[in-house]
Chain A
């Protein structure tokens, strides 16, 4: 449950890599040494570690086509625990190195393996593994949290705070809690709270009028092929975010999610650890087995004691019968021109009031666009010839028919080749949709203001909201390629 060392590395796709912060935990290292006896492998110095890690992550030597150490086809279940092969001063294998990356930042740590020497236990039997993963994820959120300053500077100032943050959250290599994000402020002083024990995750006391803010955000993903041989796919998942400003050491709040009659049940529900108790029926529905119609479909009650900062109370997935926007995309190569035909239909159950709705049509592996003769039945078309991209802004509303079309021809006669993408050769092409609909959810899931219960003396102010947006919403060309 302890970490031997921690590294924070920044790089640009493997280039200009540098260790921005590292910390070794000497006492944990000593434990590692005593636990593993003769098979002990010491943590190498930073430079050496960096090289080994980049190689293992496949980030080093990007100019060379084949590096045996990096590109061997022998499958090793790598992620999330890597193996680093040290050659000097003593040969050995450093395992399990956990690494997570986001953008230009890679965080890595080496958890202590508290098993008897010799045997390598499965990853799943080491609690330090999941602890390491959570801890790294928490650090990542802390380091990359949006701040008032510019990106680079924000990171620098947070890195500078890290030594004192670590003294709080992981003084001797055993992670105790995650660093607080949001503001850069330290948690408030420790106060005695009377008879009731204060939760370790509640960093202070709130004083003032009680305000509870609950928002349900649903995301829809889709992959539409318009083709009989391949089934169209779509899925919906939602999160319920809360911000509760309530007095008391361990205040009680209950939020209830409800579905419309005949709504399909919420599945795969995950709850925040501050939820005090759960009814087992809440967890029964799952997306990996077929719903037999008898499953529990709400209302879903979540009693909890909120932390001070905003948090995700719960998340779920849902199976909706149809995608909100059904698209058809057809391309035909006619001599040197490409004939484009698009139809997008908004399903009648979806509220026709968007914050925005844009369709992007990129064209890869072709010369730049020359002549573009494309007409749309609604909205505006923006042509970016350098990027070989059509952006179709549909605006706030679909027309009454709930159907929009695009028809036209594109001549790729530009002077230079456009962008390339190995997936989209020939007529393989896609439309990507970006949209956001306020005050609605696809699953119908909602939180009624009156269903939020706060056990406090004063009457609380309760704000609820809903929204739907798209992510990875693809419509592929359905003409035979």
Chain B
């Protein structure tokens, strides 16, 4: 049992969606809880079983009620678990925190929340664990962590407990004082933040919070505070916003209590682990930033220690202090020192690469005391970064690619700033460096080297595209590289695309494409291999997109490869190669200088149409030839325009983009994915099943009714289906493209194996303005349990595109599977009652799968009648006018029954239940709870 469950848990955590495809979350949750309750189970295993609840609480407890129940269950497990299993109990607290916070929706907190909070506070104060066992980490520390997490989620939750927390930290001498300090610092920061948001909050309120002298006003607050469901969102960092947006609390100079709380935390900060220390310092930085009466120099004593540290996170905190306080904490010497330190760290031989890259990023975003660059540009060079200082960060070929690129970028910025365009040594170095990367690529570098080189080339162009002598040289070098390694064609095209996109004013990309076209057309065909040729055609296609590039070279090249006499390439009839040729031709057909190319292009097309080895290519070449020779320029342009917009798209596509790897063809052949749900299924208000008017009964039956009744089931199709009706409608998202949908095919997939596979359904059309069509879904249960179905749809829009979309899941509720007793139609009430009596007797014996149960609740007589009327009328077997005992029979296909005897007893209404499928009991219980509660 347990080992199977452990495997299930790991399968669940690997992919919850795939796991829940095979079962439902309720079943899995029930299984987990059952095992957790089991006293005999191994506690090490139990710790593992808690992980789904910690990681995916919202998935396992999708509603408040489930969350509530699960939380209560876990709390009772906690109270019952022996104290010696500290690890289990700690993990249980973590799981509880997750369940209680994540399963409720934003609006309210669960009822178990205050109880749990009390439990945590109680545990946090319980120092008795010191003397007992040898637990590595006490429950107390975990309780503090849970409290901190809850405070982070609901800021202000514990602000009335500041005094208590401060006291606990003060008394604690074991390692645990760190846990208290972390909690105290966060609560303090949140409390101060909340005061900044209140009008007229000042020194007195602050003092009251810190426990100076509690005022009556605060007492009142306390009652209204944490327990009330008022939720505040988690706070973002207060010092992260733009300068001058830090909320402030005006206290006047008198805030002794706060100052002493801060100093005592700071004094002990040395005793914390670097991670906790950094977090603490950051929180305190936030507090001091919000309270102008406390001078930032309170941090001064810690600074030297922090500046010398080897811990990335502690130095980072120092930088963040610098950013928050600038010159009120850091003099200009300090600033220069800190900056130099960053440069040192970003190339220190003992630090890891990610750390060095991080420091490099810090250099680019260094918070200067007097920033010169105004505005919020992404990366600005600090004035302190002189070329001389930056020379420590020169890229070398031995750097890993990430380091190399970020150094290259940094140095480019430095030289650009220094105005190195003309004969600067630095720029020369960068270019030489780029060339040596190119040499490595040339002599067969690995893929990573290739990618790095092209990125460095892009960076160089991006910063220095105006320095012609280098850029022209780079073009030449790239052409040579291409001739040696034609497989770099996609990289070169990508480089051209990107430079064109990012530097619209530069003509470098154009120059490169022109040069590539030239070197290709000058290559002797006899020396060209088939793979080379394919890449050449790709490059030429790209060059043909540029109206400013003369295409005569391309035409020469094409005519060179066409005649079969000159090479065996085109006569081979390679389909892909043929497409490559046609791709170039297609671009040429829309080239602005088509007039001047008319005859050679026609010759090429004609030749391909007549002699190419592949029929498909010949056909399409003929089509192009016809288009070229019969249509006017304008028409040709319209027909072949590849960015077709609007209505007549479909026609254009069929005419033009048949074989090239054009955008149109792919777009029409592809199924597009909608970004959000466009349509959904909502439950139709199905007409209430009517209680049939029964034939007023025939005489006593001779034959045994139960057997007759059962005999019907020998036919497999008998009463095996449930029919649900839905309306297919648009969702709230308005998108004009989807106002009219056609040929909608709905596909349903099961999330568990309780039902047989469902057929796809077709709906001819869905218009936003017309009434929604009704979709009838026929379910064939294997097991009569509630479930949900994934729904997706494929449809066509007016512009001819095909879309795939996912609809919100639909739920099959338990009560939707109820059917009335499928008795033969000729039977009257007496026969049904006889079946009921027979079944009741059988089930009460509780043999096999049978079970009986009792459900009680408080209901007025009238309310009971109304309830029966509303929910059970179609299923009543007894006469509805018999008010002292109602008998209802719920039939659940394929072959389950739930029998109910409902009667008012003196203390309560009793629902006596009997069923031949005991696994239905929890569901029926939920159902009864629901209907009797409303």
Contact = CB atoms under 8 A, between A and B. Distances in A.
B279 A127 contact: yes
B816 to A, nearest CB: 26
Which of A131, A280, A317 has the most CB atoms of chain B within a 10 A radius of its CB? A131
A288 B491 contact: no
Nearest to B306: A273
Given A137-B352, A163-B48, A191-B130, A91 B675 contact: yes
Nearest to A190: B174
Contacts of A423: 397, 440, 443
A422 B446 contact: yes
B130 A190 contact: yes
A393 to B, nearest CB: 26
22 contacts: A45-B15, A65-B447, A77-B405, A80-B355, A87-B673, A114-B237, A122-B378, A124-B364, A134-B274, A172-B145, A172-B146, A174-B149, A177-B276, A189-B134, A198-B173, A200-B273, A250-B271, A278-B308, A287-B392, A288-B344, A422-B443, A422-B444
B240 A221 contact: no
Given A79-B354, A172-B148, A174-B148, 16 more contacts: A1-B279, A68-B490, A73-B451, A74-B498, A78-B405, A130-B315, A131-B279, A131-B313, A134-B312, A163-B47, A172-B146, A176-B182, A199-B272, A276-B270, A278-B305, A423-B440
Contact of B320 (A19, A65, A125): A125
Given A270-B350, A423-B397, A72 B174 contact: no
Contacts of B651: none
Given A91-B675, A167-B91, A200-B276, A280 B173 contact: no
Interface string B337-377: 10011011100111011110110011011000000000000
A80 B152 CA distance: 27
Contacts of B392: 287-288
Contacts of B806: 89
B448 interface: yes
Interface in B238-290: 240-241, 268, 270-279, 282
Closest 5 CB pairs of A and B: A270-B310, A80-B354, A130-B316, A79-B402, A200-B178
B320 A35 contact: no
Contacts of A74: 455, 458, 498, 502
A272 B87 contact: no
Nearest to A287: B344
Nearest to A267: B344
A381 B498 CA distance: 53
A8 interface: no
B270 to A, nearest CB: 7
B14 interface: yes
Contacts of B134: 188-189
A163 B490 CA distance: 46
Interface residues of A, number: 121
A88 interface: yes
A73 B491 contact: yes
Interface string A119-157: 001111111011101110100000000000000000000
B311 interface: yes
B236 interface: yes
B308 A79 contact: no
B312 A34 contact: no
B366 to A, nearest CB: 8
B778 interface: no
Contacts of B98: 26-27
A456 interface: no
Contact of B443 (A124, A203, A425): A425
Interface string B39-58: 00000000110010011111
B343 A163 contact: no
Contact of A283 (B102, B308, B451): B308
B830 interface: no
Interface in A216-238: 219, 221, 235, 237
A103 B443 CA distance: 26
A26 B365 CA distance: 32
A276 B270 CA distance: 8
B349 A72 contact: no
Interface in B155-194: 172-179, 182
B174 A129 contact: no
A65 to B, nearest CB: 6
Interface stretch (B135-143, B565-573, B759-767): B135-143
Contacts of B175: 190, 198-200, 202-203
B97 to A, nearest CB: 6
A212 to B, nearest CB: 20
A349 interface: no
A168 interface: yes
A22 B54 CA distance: 12
Interface in A244-281: 250, 267-273, 275-278, 280
A271 B348 CA distance: 13
Nearest to B101: A27
B932 interface: no
Contacts of A276: 270, 305
Contacts of A19: 14
Nearest to A136: B354
Contact of A27 (B149, B307, B314): B149
A116 interface: yes
Interface string A54-81: 0000100010011010111111011110
Nearest to B436: A423
B110 interface: no
B579 interface: no
Interface of B: 13-17, 47-48, 51, 54-58, 87, 90-91, 94, 97-98, 101-102, 106, 130, 133-138, 142, 145-146, 148-149, 152-153, 172-179, 182, 233-237, 240-241, 268, 270-279, 282, 304-305, 307-317, 319-320, 323, 337, 340-341, 343-345, 348-350, 352-355, 357-358, 361-362, 364-365, 378, 389, 392, 397-398, 402, 405-406, 409, 439-441, 443-449, 451, 454-455, 457-459, 462, 487, 490-491, 494-495, 498, 502, 673, 675-676, 806
Nearest to A36: B236
B236 A221 contact: no
A195 B340 CA distance: 41
Contact of B271 (A167, A178, A200): A200
B362 to A, nearest CB: 4
B149 to A, nearest CB: 5
B501 to A, nearest CB: 8
Contact of B340 (A29, A127, A286): A286
A164 B47 contact: yes
Contacts of A282: 308
A352 B862 CA distance: 106
B224 to A, nearest CB: 22
A47 B13 CA distance: 11
Nearest to B268: A197
B323 A125 contact: yes
B2 to A, nearest CB: 16
B642 to A, nearest CB: 19
A211 to B, nearest CB: 23
A280 B458 CA distance: 43
Given A116-B236, A186-B136, A420-B444, A73 B313 contact: no
Given A137-B352, A172-B149, A187 B341 contact: no
Contacts of B364: 122, 124
Contacts of B440: 422-423
Nearest to A132: B313
B274 A273 contact: yes
Contacts of B145: 171-172, 174, 176
B285 to A, nearest CB: 10
Nearest to B348: A268
B350 A176 contact: no
B16 to A, nearest CB: 7
A366 B794 CA distance: 59
Contacts of A189: 133-136
Contact of B137 (A133, A167, A221): A167
